[in-house]
Chain A
Amino acid sequence: MRINKKAQAGTMQSSDLIVFVEPADDLTIEIESTVQQQFGHLIETRIKQVLKRLSVEQCRIMISDRGALDYAIDARVEAALRRAN
């Protein structure tokens, strides 16, 4: 999937996250999270899984996380990527 434009998905409510996506020449992932120390590694893993599933190889993706569980990260990231397509 190609990222053609800027897009975002999600909210700043507790247990949710906001995902921002924009076109880029390479792949960068930026994570800001209330549970960075404990779960930053799992959040990143999950984002990478979604990128791989949707075959996204070039984009800049930034998330601001308020303690979302994996299923919500998965859904919001996919929603943002599809909106940016």
Chain B
Amino acid sequence: MSKNSLGREIPDIWRGRVLRPYRDPFSVQPEGPRVARPIRRVNPGDNKLLGSLREAIEASGLRDGMTIGAHHHLRNGDQVLNSVVKEIAAMGIRDIGIASSSIHPVHEVLIPFIRDGVITRIESGVNGRISRMVSTGQLDVPIVTRTHGGRGRAMMCGDIKVDVAFVGAPTCDEYGNICASKGPSACGVVGYSHSDADYADCVIAVTDNLVPYPAFPISIPQTKVDYVVQVDSLGDPSKIVSTTTRVTTDPIGLQIAKYAATVIDLSGLLKTGFSFQTGAGGASLATAANVRDLMRKRGIVGSFGAGGITGYFVDMLEEGLLEALFDVQSFDLKAVASVGRNPAHIEMSADMYANPFNAGCVVNRLDCVVLGAREIDTNFNVNVNTESDGTLNGNTGGHADTAAGAKLAIVVAPSIRARLPIVRDEVTTISTPGETIDAIVTERGVALNSKYQALAPDLRRRGIPVKSIVELRDEIYGITGAPRPIEFTDNIVGLVEYRDGTITDVIRQVKG
């Protein structure tokens, strides 16, 4: 055990893996070359289209102890991973690791396969019943949560070796060109799977919309796809993307958005070339709405919007307020439609988005990101991984990546959620280190981290309460009372890995 620079106890070795404690956001230096896929030769006339999932799994050479890749672009509508695991189990293969980009509640049907030893490792954040059971000691499977950039990095560095990647392909041709913006299960882009296609030993496209060659626009090209399998359905399209994402009407959310937009306005960053990312949460989108109004009023044209793309950003692009969109995951139908037809709306891999160890990722070019939080501590550390009851429920996503990259990283959150204080002495889990967060914006006021302290007088002049983070916590505790800490056992059930592969925190089993 040793303490990382955030004060968290990190074991030296966990389940056979030597852990490097987190020290700071930028100093870890990578060494050596990228890992590489085996080279292969496909000759004229060779067939890549196989008759069934089972045939493809057989052809891939998957066997006991290996790791499979998957993406979560189909979100809670995904049936690809479930079908794949069922087939693997039926074939008698065991001890498989899942390196998806996220596990959702829809994947709870995997629980029996975890119990039976078919699945023995999960290399991603987990939402839903699986994570709750793991957190409470009812299910044993080690979980490593990674950021989106961190997943790309881990595959590039060989920390995760994906043997066989299954890529849910909303549209595909028989030669493996994957198009994500068309088909009944269209999800716009498959940004999380690009690294799988680059580094997995074998890549299988699973599609429910096989079209005559060539499928386009191409998300992942034929050169990286070994086999193509047709299935009846990738999942439930109604749960894949939201029909619309809406700006909040909640007065608290709107007040937070007003404050956050003022911080952005006063930061000096809001000028021609402004680059911007927000989450899809109500207050984040409401902040985007306020920023959009300011851009309109002043005739500002921004350079790009990035990340998970909503219809809101599509509107800004089409209105001429942004020059381009970098889309790693399309959140709603409008974004899906846009990425298929607008060349300024660009599909982006998670690697290009946020991997700290390539020759420069998009988050490094962000002026401002607006992020959410479950909990924030008085050192500005943010938790997005665990619930207030201490159980794991979520992915870090691009949170820690964008916070590190953007010039101004703003976290918006209500100060209280049904009595639970959001700003508190200690967060349950450190997902994003406080040194990469610049401002906390709640409806009760704004707390500025060291880099942006100078904004305080201007904010106050605009009628916005500026408080130290400790004052903010005290004010909130004054209303809610001080929460009793959640009790944990010593059993570590998961890791929270930073984008560079060091460990910001561990997830412990909840007591009782």
Contacts and interface: CB of A to CB of B under 8 A. Distances in A.
- Direct A/B contact, Cβ within 8 angstroms: yes
Interface of A: 14-15, 34-35, 37-42, 66-70
13 contacts: A14-B418, A15-B419, A34-B418, A35-B418, A35-B419, A35-B420, A35-B483, A37-B484, A38-B420, A38-B486, A66-B418, A68-B419, A69-B479
A73 to B, nearest CB: 10
B389 A69 contact: no
A27 B479 CA distance: 28
A39 B486 contact: no
Given A38-B484, A67-B418, A69-B479, 11 more contacts: A14-B418, A15-B418, A38-B419, A38-B420, A38-B483, A39-B419, A41-B484, A67-B417, A69-B419, A69-B480, A70-B481
Contacts of B389: 37
A2 to B, nearest CB: 31
Contacts of A14: 418
A37 B387 CA distance: 12
Contacts of B420: 35, 38, 67
Nearest to B486: A37
B60 interface: no
Contacts of B480: 39, 69
B388 interface: yes
Interface of B: 388-390, 417-420, 479-481, 483-484, 486
Contacts of A37: 389-390, 484, 486
A39 B479 contact: no
Contacts of B418: 14-15, 34-35, 66-67
B334 to A, nearest CB: 30
Chain B contact residues, majority secondary structure: loop
B511 to A, nearest CB: 10
A35 B484 CA distance: 10
Nearest to A42: B481
A77 B4 CA distance: 46
A36 to B, nearest CB: 9
Contact of A39 (B390, B417, B483): B483
Nearest to B479: A69
Contacts of A34: 418
Nearest to A71: B479
A38 B375 CA distance: 14
User: Across chains A and B, which 9 residue pairs bring their CB atoms closest together, nearest first?
Assistant: A67-B418, A38-B483, A67-B419, A42-B481, A35-B419, A14-B418, A38-B484, A15-B418, A39-B419
A76 to B, nearest CB: 14
A35 B422 CA distance: 13
Nearest to A15: B418
A72 B94 CA distance: 54
A34 B484 CA distance: 14
A17 B335 CA distance: 41
A16 B115 CA distance: 40
B333 to A, nearest CB: 30
Nearest to A34: B418
A52 to B, nearest CB: 19
Nearest to B485: A38
A34, A38, A40, A42: residue with the most chain B Cβ atoms closer than 10 Å: A38
Contacts of B481: 39, 42, 70
Contacts of A40: 484
Nearest to A70: B481
A83 to B, nearest CB: 24
A58 B436 CA distance: 55
B126 to A, nearest CB: 21
Nearest to B419: A67
B374 to A, nearest CB: 13
A68 B390 CA distance: 20
Contacts of A42: 481
A68 B417 CA distance: 10
Contacts of B484: 37-41
